[in-house]
A = this chain, B = another copy of it.
């Protein structure tokens, strides 16, 4: 019998309890023994909840109970969550977490403690919700050098962009709709400004590189400036606008960036709609792969946590080595990377002036819009910025996925 403690009885914590109860028989078979939730730590009480009797308010009860095998952290943040996870690991317990902030900022340190204690720190649910992506990277695609990761890692913004595309609504209306449906929070900055996707690509890139990629170093641009017109232009270019969280290798350089990009319709990410997430991974041997599923939600995310719990139990007393060194990865400056840019400018800018700054461009016209729009040739992002600054009248610019 394996006993676990869940820290935080919110959406995901309650989901974990539900998965372990609903699929108890299957999970018993796969873990090799029954798995029981012994404690649920939360500041609140839950009168009438079927798990009411398991709710405790004092973390020390968990640390001091030698029966607890695995601690599930679903509190979020890096304050108490960090302190509790660290203490659990130091006591030799394994930890499964859904907390992307904790993993992005403290992953390397927590893995190192787990290693010393012959325990495990697993975090499949921290990226892509229910999508198996971290374990496949660590245990399946191990014969490959990963060349590129390109993720639709935030369901809220993907839902909004899909609404804008399918119904021609504005950013503000799409946001209001997402808030009404419960997909976006009242303060939606973490999603809309790309901060959530940034933490997630920082985690994936750290795992691919084997060292610490600070999320603060990743250039991050959200979707707040994307308009319904931009999306119509993307369609005219046979593509879609997606908020991509990318990292990629170019020779000895590693780049990472979160930004809305125009993805061509024949790219597998173009068909990922609504709240679904997907992670495109290119290896130097396996070529293109993609992992698709629900990137958020109580049960899908809890499914990933439950998979981690089962793996912790199967590996009891044995550390699964995850190479994530504390040394800091120096990302290359994206200004040096070459790509194409989609640009809109006022109608009165002559193409001669445009091409003087951007070089040869491919114009594109949308009926009813009196402006100049075009796609540049491949150019370094730094050169593009300089040219755009010189002209000073760019209405919008969106990176072309490459």
Contact = CB atoms under 8 A, between A and B. Distances in A.
A19 to B, nearest CB: 5
Nearest to A271: B271
Interface stretch (A282-290, A367-375, A385-393): A282-290
B286 A294 contact: yes
Interface stretch (A6-14, A24-32, A191-199, A339-347): A24-32
B130 A289 contact: yes
A299 B31 CA distance: 34
Nearest to A30: B142
A22 interface: yes
Contact of A131 (B31, B273, B289): B289
B143 A23 contact: yes
Interface string A267-304: 01011110010000001111111111110010110111
Given A286-B294, A300-B285, A321 B145 contact: no
Interface residues of A, number: 58
B303 A293 contact: no
Interface stretch (A103-111, A216-224, A306-314): A306-314
A86 to B, nearest CB: 25
Contacts of A305: 143
Contacts of A307: 139-143
A331 to B, nearest CB: 20
Contacts of A131: 289
A12 B307 CA distance: 32
Contacts of A292: 268, 288-292
B136 A285 contact: no
A238 interface: no
Most buried by B among A130, A142, A271, A306: A142
A254 interface: no
A124 interface: yes
Contacts of A130: 283, 285-287, 289
B268 A19 contact: no
A214 interface: no
Nearest to A280: B292
Contacts of A172: none
A309 B140 contact: no
Nearest to A310: B142
A380 B43 CA distance: 53
A289 B293 contact: yes
A308 to B, nearest CB: 9
Interface string A120-154: 00001000001110011001111111000000000
A338 B286 CA distance: 38
A142 B272 CA distance: 24
Given A299-B285, A304-B286, A310 B19 contact: no
Given A26-B143, A136-B140, A290-B290, 4 more contacts: A23-B284, A135-B136, A142-B310, A285-B303
26 contacts: A19-B143, A20-B143, A23-B284, A26-B145, A130-B283, A130-B285, A130-B289, A132-B140, A132-B289, A135-B136, A135-B139, A136-B140, A139-B311, A142-B306, A142-B310, A143-B303, A143-B305, A283-B303, A285-B300, A286-B293, A286-B300, A286-B303, A287-B294, A289-B292, A291-B292, A314-B321
